[in-house]
Amino acid sequence: MAAPRNRKHLLIPDRPRSESYTPHQRNIKQSAYSGPTDHAGHAAFLRNALETAQREATAARRASDIAVTGAVAGITVEFQSPPGFDLKLESLESKRAGIELLNVRYKSTNDDRHAQLATVFIPDGSLKHFFDRFEQYAEQTTKKGKPCHKDLVERIVALRKATLQALWTDLEDVYPADDEMIWWEVWLRRHDGSELARLLEFAEQANLVVGELRLGFDDRIVILVRGTTIQLSASLDVLNDFAELRLAKQAAGFFVDDLSPTEQAEWVNDLKNRTSLSADDATAVCILDTGVNHGHPLLSGILASEDATAINPAWGSDDHEGHGTEMAGLAGYGDLAHVLASSTPIVIPHRLESVKILPPQGKNPPELYGALTAQAVARPEIQAPHRRRAFSMAVTATDERDRGQPTSWSAAVDALAAGRSFDQSTHGLVYLDDPGANVPRLFILSAGNVQSAQLQQAYLDRSDVEAIHDPAHAWNALTVGAFTEKSIINDASYAGWSTLAPPGDLSPWSTTSVSFQDSWPLKPDVVLEGGNVASDGRDFHDGIPDLSLLTTNFKPVKESFTFSWATSAATAQAARLAAIISAEYPNLWPESIRALIVQSARWTKAMEAHLDAASGKKARAKLVRRYGYGVPSLNRALRSANDALTLIAQASISPFTEGKMNDMHLHELPWPKDVLQELGETPVRLRVCLSYFIEPNPGRRGWKKRHRYASHGLRFDLKLPTESPEEFHKRLNKNALDEDEGKPDGGSGMSDWFIGEARNKGSIHLDIWDGTAADLAERGIVGIYPVSGWWKDQPKRDRSQFGARYSLIITIETDADGVDVWTPVAQEVGVPVEVLSAEIS
C-alpha cells in the first residue's frame, strides 16, 4: 500500500558545480548532392536569371505610380533548391552588403520531395555579391580542387524576381485571390526605425487599411493590413520593407447553452458558508478572456472589482458572453459538481484576476492577438505589481494551419513568459532597464478544440489530425488538452445514446500535435477533464450535463450555474493547480510550477494501453503528442511521501559566451543511496523533468544557425550505474578529457529511458526510467548542459551573461511496502521531519 503523501517536496539547497563546457563532436551523415557537371554553364544560367530579375524590378519600379519617402531601393529575389536538399542559407545573406534573408518556405515537387525556397532582399549595388560568387564558382577552385562557393551555387537550381506570394509563409491553400479583400499579418524587417512611417505612407497611396495594434520583436515588426493581393504587390517594388505575409488570425467564439439548475441559491449559500478565502495579496489566476462577472456570489470574494479590467476601458470588464465567468468558476473551485456535493470545508488559497481581451460580439475584427495578449499582461502587473500570478488563456485561433510553426501570437507568449514586457511607446517586447524586474511568467493555454462539425465515431483519428491551435504551441507555455472520465448518461431523454470516448481516454474535443513536424514541441503537456460527447451512431450531442463540468454562470440573477466542457474547462482547472502550488511553495519559479504540474501527471489505464501497444519510442512519442504526459494530480504536485521522494533544484546557467559554448552544471544530488542499496533488486521508478524558458526568434527564415527559433536549449543526463563519476563527467564534457584522451565508451544510456531522444523537443523535457533500486543507488549525479540556439549564433544579442534559469525535478517512487526514501534525504538537506495535514484532492 502506498504511503500517504504528507511530506513536503525537498528543495535542494546546494548550487550545482559549474564548469567550462565543450561538447563532444557529433558525426552527422548528410546526403551528398552531386550538383551540375557543367560548372560554367550553371553559373551563366544563374547570372542570366539574376540579370533578368534585375531588369524586371527596375521596370516595375519605374512603372509604379507610388513613391515612398526613404524607401531602400533594391530587389527581392526568390531562390530555389533541388528537391530533397536545402539551400546554403547562411551564404544567401550578408550583413555588410545589406543583403537579408527574409523568409524560408518549402514546396512539394512531383516526386513527393520538397524544394526549399528562400526569399532574399538585395539592395541596389549589392547584386555584385552574387555575380562575383557565380564567376568564382565557374573559374576558381579551392585547395581541395572543388569549385569555389560550391555548396552555395550548386544548391540554387532556380532564382527569380519574387512575387508577393514569395513572402507568404502561411499555408499555400489559404493564399488569397488577386481581388480578395483580407486582413494580412505583415511582418516588416526592422532596419532603420522608419518602417512604420513608410508603411503608413505606402498604405495611404495604395488605399490600404492599417490596424492600430502592432507588435515588435528584435528584428521584426508585426502589424495588420487590410487590402487585396493587387494592392499589396507594389510593396515589392517601391517599399522593400516586407519580410513575411500571413493570414490574420480570428479568435474562436464560445457559446454555452442555458441549463436550468435546481435550488441553485441554496447550493451557493451552503458553499459560501463553508469556504475560507485567501488574503488580497495571495497568488492569483489571471483569466484572459471575455471578462468575468465578479458580482457572482461565488466569485465576489476571490475577484475584487479593481482586479477586473479590460484592454479597452470602453468594453467594460463584465462578461458579455459567459466564457470568462465559466473559466473563473473552474479556476477558483474546480468542477462545482464535486464541491457542491461535498459537505467538507473548502479552502481557496488563491485569488482571481480578469482582463477582458475580447470585445463584445459583433465588434471583433481580426486583431493582432500577440499585441493584445502583451497589453493584457500589463494590466494586472500595474494594478498589483507584487502579486504572484499565473496567466490562464482559453482563447485560441479558429484554425490550426501553423501546425507547430511559431506565430506572432505564440512568439509573443514565449517572449512574455521569458520576462519581456510590452513597451506602450514602441509596441515592442522589451527587457526593462532593471534586470531584476524582468521576471518570467507562467502561461497556461488551452490546446484548442475539434469543431463540432468535425466529430466522428473514430474520434481519436480525428484528434490526431486536428492540430493544436495558435498560440498553444508556444514553447514556454503549459499547454492543456482534455481527457474524460465522464462515461455515463443518466438522463432518460438520451436513451439510445452512448458516449463517444471510453473512460480515461482523450476527450473528443481535444486537439493534438501528432501532425506536427518532429522538431516542434510535444504538445499538449498535460490533459485534464474536458467532458465527453454523446452519439446515437449517427449524430453527436455536446453539452449534456452528465458529460460536462459545472461552473459559474455569467448571469447569476437568472441562473447561478452553467455547464462547461472541452479544453477551455481543462485549462481553467490546470490554472487552479498552478495557483495552489504557487501558494504552497512561494519560492518556486514559474519554470518549477510548470514542471511540477507535468511531473505530477500520469497516464490513465486507457492511455497506457495505447502506450503499451506502441512499437518503439517513435510510436510512443506520437502518443505523447496526443496525451501529453497524462493527467496531473494536485496531491502529487504538492506532496511527497516516504516512498515517493520529489527533489527540486532551481539554478541559472550561462550557456554561451562570445559565440561558443560556455558552462555546464553537475548536480551531485542528496541521494537515498543506502536505502536503495538495501532494496537490491526491488523495482523502482525515476522521473526526471527539466523546465526552462527560451527567448523566441519568430521569423520564418529556416530556423537554422542564427535564425533558430529558440535562444538556447538545455539537456539532462544521469550517470550510468556502471560509470564512475569521473567517467560520467568525461562522457558529457570534452573539456574533462586528458590530453589525447578519447570519449569514454558505454553510450549515453538513452535506451533505458521510456521516451528517449523525443523528450528533447521544446523547453520542457520529461522522461521515465524503470530499473532496480541497486542500479538507481548509483545514479545520483545529473548533468545539465547547453545545446545551440540563436544566442550562440548572434553574440551581440546573447543574454547568457544574465543567466538562463532552469528547474530540475526528480522523483523516486517504489511500490515496496515500508520503504522510506524521503527521511534520509530530508535529514541530509536539513529539512525538519514533520507530518503535514491530510492529503489534498
Q: How far apart are CA 557 and CA 825, in angstroms?
A: 54
184, 215, 247 - which closes a domain = 247
Residue 29 is predicted with a pLDDT of 57
Q: Assign 787 to helix, strand or coil.
A: strand
| Range scoring the smallest mean pLDDT among 8-12, 488-492, 655-659 | 488-492
Q: How far apart are CA 456 and CA 418, in angstroms?
A: 39
Mean pLDDT of 172-180: 87
Residue 30 is predicted with a pLDDT of 56
Whether residue 253 has pLDDT greater than 60: no
Q: Rg of the Cα trace of the chain? A: 28
Write the DSSP assignment of 342-370 as a string of letters: --S-EE---EEEEEE-SPSTT------HH
| Range scoring the smallest mean pLDDT among 344-353, 354-363, 412-421 | 354-363
Domain assignment of residue 626, yes or no = no
Beta strands in 678-722 (DSSP E): 683-692, 713-718
Q: Which amino acid belongs to residue 632?
A: P
Q: 462 and 434 share a domain?
A: yes
Q: How far apart are CA 766 and CA 715, in angstroms?
A: 10
The neighbouring-strand residues paired with 686 are: 769, 812
Q: How far apart are CA 711 and CA 696, in angstroms?
A: 6
Q: 13 and 44 share a domain?
A: no
Interval 46-96: pLDDT, tens: 999 999 999 999 999 999 889 899 888 999 999 999 998 999 999 999 989
How far, in whole angstroms, is CA 537 from its chain's centroid? 36
**How would residue 257 be classed by pLDDT, with cut points 50, 70 and 90?**
very low
Whether residue 696 has pLDDT greater than 60: yes
Whether residue 32 has pLDDT greater than 80: no
Phi first, then psi: give them for residue 621, nearest 5 degrees.
Answer: -60, -35
**How would residue 111 be classed by pLDDT, with cut points 50, 70 and 90?**
low
Q: Assign 814 to helix, strand or coil.
A: coil
Mean pLDDT of 393-414: 88
Domain assignment of residue 678, yes or no = yes
Grid cell listed for 247: 493570414
Write the DSSP assignment of 633-648 as a string of letters: -HHHHHEEBTTEEEEE
Q: 594 and 660 share a domain?
A: no
Q: 60 and 152 share a domain?
A: yes
Other Cβ atoms within 10 Å of 727 Cβ, number: 16
| Domain of 43, in residue numbers | 39-247
Give the percent of the chain with pLDDT over 90.
Answer: 71
Q: Assign 215 to helix, strand or coil.
A: strand
Residue 293 is predicted with a pLDDT of 96
Residue 201 is predicted with a pLDDT of 94
Whether residue 255 has pLDDT greater than 60: no
Other Cβ atoms within 10 Å of 546 Cβ, number: 17
Residue 495 is predicted with a pLDDT of 86
Q: 211 and 336 share a domain?
A: no
Interval 609-645: pLDDT, tens: 999 999 989 999 999 999 999 999 999 999 999 999 9
More confident residue, 171 or 135: 135
Residue 760's alpha-carbon distances to 476, 621, 750, 766, in angstroms, are 14, 11, 12, 8
What does pLDDT average to over the chain? Answer: 91
The neighbouring-strand residues paired with 556 are: none
Domain assignment of residue 617, yes or no = no
Residue 259 is predicted with a pLDDT of 34
Question: What one-character DSSP code corresponds to residue 69?
Answer: T
Domain assignment of residue 240, yes or no = yes
Q: How far apart are the first and last CA of the chain?
A: 18
Q: Where does residue 31 rank: exposed (0-12), middle (13-18), buried (19+ CB within 10 A)? A: exposed
Residue 154 is predicted with a pLDDT of 94
Q: Assign 611 to helix, strand or coil.
A: helix
Q: How far apart are CA 202 and CA 188, in angstroms?
A: 13
Residue 263 is predicted with a pLDDT of 59
Residue 236 is predicted with a pLDDT of 86
Whether residue 839 has pLDDT greater than 70: no
Residue 825's alpha-carbon distances to 4, 395, 646, in angstroms, are 18, 43, 10
**How would residue 838 be classed by pLDDT, with cut points 50, 70 and 90?**
low
Q: 218 and 75 share a domain?
A: yes
More confident residue, 773 or 496: 773
More confident residue, 724 or 427: 724
Interval 766-815: pLDDT, tens: 999 999 999 999 999 999 999 999 999 999 999 999 999 999 999 999 99
Residue 366 is predicted with a pLDDT of 67
| Range scoring the smallest mean pLDDT among 306-315, 326-335, 363-372, 691-700 | 363-372
Q: How far apart are CA 225 and CA 248, in angstroms?
A: 9
Q: 18 and 55 share a domain?
A: no
Domain assignment of residue 76, yes or no = yes
Alpha helices in 449-488 (DSSP H): 459-465
Residue 361 is predicted with a pLDDT of 66
Q: How far apart are CA 300 and CA 323, in angstroms?
A: 17
How far, in whole angstroms, is CA 689 from its chain's centroid? 16
More confident residue, 266 or 759: 759
571, 600, 629 - which closes a domain = 600
Residue 429 is predicted with a pLDDT of 84
Whether residue 746 has pLDDT greater than 70: no
Domain assignment of residue 280, yes or no = yes
Grid cell listed for 186: 505583415
Residue 543 is predicted with a pLDDT of 82
Mean pLDDT of 580-587: 96
Grid cell listed for 15: 548550487
Please state the pTM of the whole predicted model. 0.91
Q: 231 and 276 share a domain?
A: no
Whether residue 475 has pLDDT greater than 60: yes
Q: How far apart are CA 34 and CA 41, in angstroms?
A: 16
Residue 27 is predicted with a pLDDT of 63
Domain assignment of residue 840, yes or no = no
Q: Which amino acid belongs to residue 798?
A: D
Alpha helices in 38-101 (DSSP H): 39-63
**How would residue 260 be classed by pLDDT, with cut points 50, 70 and 90?**
very low
Q: 521 and 655 share a domain?
A: no
| Range scoring the smallest mean pLDDT among 197-206, 471-480, 734-743 | 734-743
Interval 405-449: pLDDT, tens: 899 999 999 999 999 998 888 888 888 766 667 889 999 999 999
Q: How far apart are CA 102 and CA 187, in angstroms?
A: 10
Q: Are strands 284-289 and 663-668 parallel, antiparallel or unpaired?
A: unpaired
Q: 370 and 505 share a domain?
A: yes
CB 686 within 8 A of CB 768: yes
Q: 111 and 220 share a domain?
A: yes
| Range scoring the smallest mean pLDDT among 314-318, 469-473, 494-498, 507-511 | 494-498
Residue 828 is predicted with a pLDDT of 92
Residue 434's alpha-carbon distances to 335, 430, 439, 562, 767, in angstroms, are 41, 12, 10, 45, 37
Q: Which amino acid belongs to residue 650?
A: Q
Whether residue 258 has pLDDT greater than 70: no
Q: Assign 186 to helix, strand or coil.
A: strand
Other Cβ atoms within 10 Å of 33 Cβ, number: 14
Q: Which helix (H) or strand (E) holds 728?
A: helix 725-732
Q: How far apart are CA 77 and CA 716, in angstroms?
A: 42
- The CATH code of the domain that includes 385 is 3.40.50.200
Cis peptide before 4 (omega within 30 of 0): no
Residue 747 is predicted with a pLDDT of 66
Whether residue 173 has pLDDT greater than 90: no
Write the DSSP assignment of 102-169 as a string of letters: EEEEEEE-TTS-EEEEEEEEEETT-THHHHHHHHHHHH-B-TTSPBTTHHHHHT--EEEE--GGGGB-
541, 573, 600 - which closes a domain = 600
Q: 76 and 155 share a domain?
A: yes
Question: What one-character DSSP code corresponds to residue 837?
Answer: S
Q: Which amino acid belongs to residue 644?
A: A
Whether residue 725 has pLDDT greater than 60: yes
Interval 4-27: pLDDT, tens: 999 999 999 989 999 999 998 876
Residue 256 is predicted with a pLDDT of 29
**Overall domain count for the chain:** 3
Domain assignment of residue 632, yes or no = no
Helix axes 617-627, 605-613, angle to 10 degrees: 150
